[in-house]
Amino acid sequence: MTYHRTIHFSDTDAAGVVYFVALLSICHEAYENALQVAEIDLKTFFTSSDIAIPIFHADIDFYQPLFCGDRIQIHLQPIQLNETEFEINYQIFHENNLDKLIAKATTKHVSVTPKIHQRNPLPLFLIQWLQGNLNNC
C-alpha cells in the first residue's frame, strides 16, 4: 500500500526541515487513507463508543532531511501482532528516488473498550483489513 504526499511549509521547523512529529502525523494520514481505500468509514472508526484503537507506541528514524515541496511516497505494511494489537511499518522515499530510504517509522495500535480501558480482540473488519494488506504487500 502506497501513499503519496507533498511536504508543506507547515510540516517544517524553523530550520526548514520536516519536524519529526510532522512526519509521524503524515504517516497517520497514510494510515487513514489506507482505511478509506478499504472502505472503512473513518467517522465511525474514530468515534465509536464501543471500540477504540489508540496508538500505544510510535518511533521514527530519519536518514536524510525532507524540505517543503519534496514529493514523497510512504509504503505501509500493517502486521497483526496478536489478537488485540497490530503495528504499521512505514517506509518513506522521495518519489524520484525509490531506491533510497529517507525515513522509517512504526506505530503500534491496541484494541480497547473506551469506557473501561480494557483490551478487546481486534474487530473482524480490522482483521480482514490487516489480512488483505498482508496478501498485497
Domain containing 30 — which CATH number? 3.10.129.10
pLDDT of residue 81: 96
pLDDT of residue 135: 44
Q: What is the DSSP letter of 119?
A: E
Q: How far apart are CA 123 and CA 115, in angstroms?
A: 17
137 — pLDDT class (breaks 50, 70, 90): very low
- Is residue 75 predicted with pLDDT exceeding 70? yes
Domain that residue 35 falls in: 2-136
Q: How many residues does the chain have?
A: 137
Annotated catalytic residue, options 13, 41, 59, 61: 13
Tell me: the pLDDT tens digits for 78-122?
Answer: 999 999 999 999 999 999 999 999 999 999 999 999 888 899 999
pLDDT of residue 133: 59
Across the range 19-42, mean pLDDT stands at 94
**Helix (H) or strand (E) segment spanning residue 93:** strand 85-94
Secondary structure of residue 25 in the 3-state scheme:
helix
Give the chain's domain count. Answer: 1
134 — pLDDT class (breaks 50, 70, 90): very low
13 flagged as catalytic: yes
Across the range 12-29, mean pLDDT stands at 94
